[in-house]
Amino acid sequence: MTVERLQLGQLVSSKAGRDCGQHYLIVGKSEEGFVFVSDGRRRGLANPKKKNSRHLIYHRERAMDLGRKLGAGKKVTDEEIREALAEFGWEG
């Protein structure tokens, strides 16, 4: 999937790297085919992980409220990210 089609707040899983199997929320995008992801614990918003978009499994679920807040540049907390992941049954 191309970076342009990805949405802020979309839930993803890592399929490559040391963090294989870890669940994240997309919190930012880069022009070079990378996205910035956060789980609200090990990778908080202050230090999101930069992942190649080809190394992620994309899920249909999306944290709509957080996606809108991120897109509008409003403040989102690590706790909100953890709650969104827990809502879908994923640990952060």
Domain layout of the chain by residue ranges = 3-87
- 3-state DSSP call for residue 14? strand
Q: pLDDT tens digits for 39-80?
A: 999 999 999 999 998 999 999 899 999 999 998 989 999 999
Average pLDDT score over the chain? 90
Tell me how far CA of residue 67 lies from CA of 15, 17, 18, 75, in angstroms.
Answer: 22, 25, 26, 11
Q: What pLDDT score was predicted for residue 91?
A: 65
What pLDDT is recorded for position 5?
77
The predicted model scores a pTM of 0.89
Domain 3-87 has what CATH class?
mainly beta
Q: What pLDDT does 4 receive? A: 65
Residue-wise pLDDT tens digits, 1-47: 566 678 999 999 999 889 999 999 999 998 788 999 999 999 999 99
H/E run at residue 65: helix 64-72
